Amino acid sequence: MEEQVKHRVFIALGSNLGDKHKNILDAVNYLIEEGVDIRKISSIIETAPYGLTEQPSFLNCVIEGYTELSPRKLLLLLLDIEKRLGRVRTIKWGPRTIDLDIIFYDDLVIDEPDLKVPHPDMKNRIFVLKPLVEIEPDFVHPIFKKSVKQLLEDLEGKSK
């Protein structure tokens, strides 16, 4: 029997509606149930909303895992988990029970209309970079050729 290749993925999780902590834990459990081998989970941090700021604060974390799913199938799984946890997409950057984003998939670069990896706006999102640096500071962004720690330092330098 042929062994499937496992791909290293980083997924960002966020919630600002309902029981935010439970929503994140439920999403992690669904990922495990669906065969994502989670190796690391960052601390859960509270952050201000991004984009549309008139809404509740978010809880955010990042997981590192391994999956046999293709990038497209992983995206479909994340969308399915969001739906299971009550996510309704009405307003861009609006409140949500759960938000799941592929940040990295191995060191692939994918630029399709509905699938972009690495996540195109991650370098501007402290709520992605901070937890990511906690679990894997030396991971190198395949486009910018900088470690995620360097990207966080760049972002924090901009905000001073």
Q: Which residues are catalytic?
A: 87, 96, 99, 101
Tokens 């905000």, residue located: 159
Alpha-carbon span 42 to 61, nearest angstrom = 6
Name 60's bridge partners. 14, 45
Helix ranges, 14-92 (H): 20-33, 71-84
Which has the closest alpha carbon to 100: 28, 157, 51, 158?
A: 28
Helix ranges, 70-159 (H): 71-84, 126-135, 148-158
The kind and range of the H/E element at 142 are none
